Chains A and B, each alone.
Chain A
Amino acid sequence: MSVDQQTVRRIARLARIAVTEEDVPHLQGELNAILSFVERLDEVNVDGVEPMTSVTPMVMKKRPDRVTDGGYAEAIVKNAPATEDHFFLVPKVIE
């Protein structure tokens, strides 16, 4: 399978990465090089094979439903580019 330029723009949009018109042709070429590389997988018969979901068989660890951490809003917002009163600031989302 290969992608056309329209698909490259759509993927970029889904990935939330702005691309310029000049970027599109070389991105298309690079993405198609990778997609053609992975085409080899089509020759493998995977009928009845379970997809791998965990590398080592282990039981999901559980912990008691208790608050064990927290109370440091200051530290959480410390690295944010825009904050106010321990809130992250973003451009207006709802009109």
Chain B
Amino acid sequence: MTDLTDFTLTEAREGLKNKRFSSRELTQAHIAAIEKARALNAYVLETPERALEMAEASDARIAKGEAGALEGLPLGIKDLFCTKGFQTTAGSNILKGFEPQYESTITQQLWNDGAVMLGKLNNDEFAMGSSNETSAFGPVVSPWRRKGSNVHASGGSGTIEGAHLVPGGSSGGSAAAVAARLCLGATATDTGGSIRQPAAFTGTVGIKPTYGRCSRWGIVAFASSLDQAGPIARTVRDSAILLRSMAGPDPKDTTSADIPVPDFEAAVSRGVKGLKIAIPKEYRLDGMPAEIEKLWADGAEWLKKAGAEIVEVSLPHTRYALPAYYIVAPAEASSNLARYDGVRYGPRVPGRDVIDMYEKTRAAGFGREVKRRVMIGTYVLSAGYYDAYYLRAQKIRTLIKRDFEEVYAKGVDAILTPATPSAAFAIGEKGSADPVEMYLNDVFTVTVNMAGLPGIAVPAGLHNEGLPLGLQLIGRPFDEETLFAAGQVIEDAAGRMALPEAWWAYER
């Protein structure tokens, strides 16, 4: 029998429906795989008892013919989503021990549809990072290795030896777990590229829907006007199935859109015949690796062969998106993170007065990247600088959005770009001297958050070192369906990504 963890979510759904295996068996197989993969550090909390309890309830519902859309399918949850009674830390020491007394809207919708929770997944602290290196739980090891790499699990202890690759971030645990077959799919969040960049680095599919498509209620906030949740999965179809359950209006989030959720899965096989797909010339960066250029050209060719018309367009303000983001996102973060003061949750460091207590608690609880961003945010919002920085950045955001509106007004249905400027890099390789070096990872994805648009990353090929590379498709507001349709064309043409063997597996 094939290992049950090798199935895609779609295949597992079929197997459960045909009673070839039970949710308990499927869940047990994932629990066993997670135990053997602890060296990857993808899960920060394993919840096997809860998973089996949920799986048994699912099996009972399946037997009664009452199965929901995700009945019995085991998923991983990014540790940014509040899960009632299960520690939620956002990857930060300042939330150590925090057990939410409520459930996020998105996870509640997944459980309502019958999904099974395997545990909580590692991420960059407060989702601030592009490599999962800022997590208080330590970095995640990518299941991918460069060709000829000496990275291995040591025979004695199972720990990883050698300079391993990062899975990307901030949803690094989600992407690594999906690629390593430690769950059928995972929740993730994306503020500047945190779903799409790790998906591209790990050969998985990740979609950031339109701002407002999913409720943000119960998700630890980073930058509220940019944050949006979405799934990471192994195929385009799997991601469409998950997004349908995650999306929808929520009275608890006034920014969630009152727009009905379409049947995303039905859009997957729609094709791209007659669609106009644009290539933005500003995304052709100086010094872009030849492999990325080729991948991009291949993608355009595949879409053309499938019947789309390819046009070149201009998005003139592209180069300002990343710097404007590094004003808007830290500004909103400094405000959102003001709540971590040692009063309502998390560990407190005593001080001589209340301010001293706040300062010591935050100094001990926040990591370096978070401190840096909170301080930048505080500075750009401070008296005398607000107009020069924050207001100017918000005006530039209007111009970035307008660029997209003008392209869509010309009848363009979607925009094709590379997902990342390079393949995955090794731990410690980027950003240690200059934080901006790490920020440049999001150069192709951040425009989408600034404009509030939907974007999907789909694996499209391998780098010469054997690492996955992804393409990004950007859609019109609330038109994720076109992204699924075009994403499927790329997946079909590129062929399903062959995921790495479980070289990390270690029996304790």
Give every chain A residue within 8 A of B353 (Cβ-Cβ).
91-92
Provide the bound-state CA to CA distance between A34 and B352, in Å: 33
| A67 CB within 8 Å of chain B | no
Interchain CB contact under 8 A, B323 and A15: no
**Binary flags per residue of B373-408, CB closer than 8 Å to A gives 1, else 0:** 011111100100000110111111111010000000
Q: How far is the CB of A78 from chain B (nearest CB, A)?
A: 6
Binds A, one of B10-18, B20-28, B30-38, B357-365: B357-365
| B320 CB within 8 Å of chain A | yes
Chain A residue with the shortest CB-CB distance to B251: A63
Give every chain A residue within 8 A of B363 (Cβ-Cβ).
17-19
Interchain CB contact under 8 A, A17 and B374: yes
Residue of B347, B382, B391, B395 with most partner-chain A CB within 10 A: B395
Give every chain A residue within 8 A of B394 (Cβ-Cβ).
51-53
Assuming the A-B contacts A44-B396, A55-B211, A55-B451, are A18 and B359 also in contact, with contact meaning beta carbons closer than 8 angstroms in the complex? yes
Interchain CB contact under 8 A, A44 and B320: yes
Assuming the A-B contacts A56-B477, A75-B101, are A14 and B378 also in contact, with contact meaning beta carbons closer than 8 angstroms in the complex? yes
Interchain CB contact under 8 A, A52 and B323: no
Give every chain B residue within 8 A of A37 (Cβ-Cβ).
322-323, 326, 436, 439
Give every chain B residue within 8 A of A61 (Cβ-Cβ).
251, 254, 258
Interchain CB contact under 8 A, B382 and A16: no
**Binary flags per residue of A46-64, CB closer than 8 Å to B gives 1, else 0:** 1001111111101011010
Give every chain A residue within 8 A of B346 (Cβ-Cβ).
79, 81
Q: How far is the CB of B39 from chain A (nearest CB, A)?
A: 31
| A4 CB within 8 Å of chain B | no
Give every chain B residue within 8 A of A38 (Cβ-Cβ).
323-324, 326-327, 389, 393
| Chain A residues proximal to chain B, CB less than 8 Å | 1, 3, 7-8, 11-19, 27, 30-31, 33-35, 37-41, 44, 46, 49-56, 58, 60-61, 63, 72, 75-76, 78-82, 88, 90-93
Which 8 residue pairs of A and B lie closest in terms of their CB atoms, listed nearest first?
Answer: A55-B452, A51-B394, A75-B101, A18-B363, A18-B359, A81-B348, A79-B345, A46-B395
11 pairs of residues in contact across A and B, judged by CB atoms under 8 Å: A11-B378, A13-B359, A30-B372, A55-B211, A63-B251, A78-B99, A79-B345, A80-B344, A81-B343, A90-B354, A90-B357
- 6 more CB-based (< 8 A) A-B contacts, given A17-B371, A56-B211: A11-B379, A16-B355, A37-B436, A58-B212, A58-B255, A79-B101
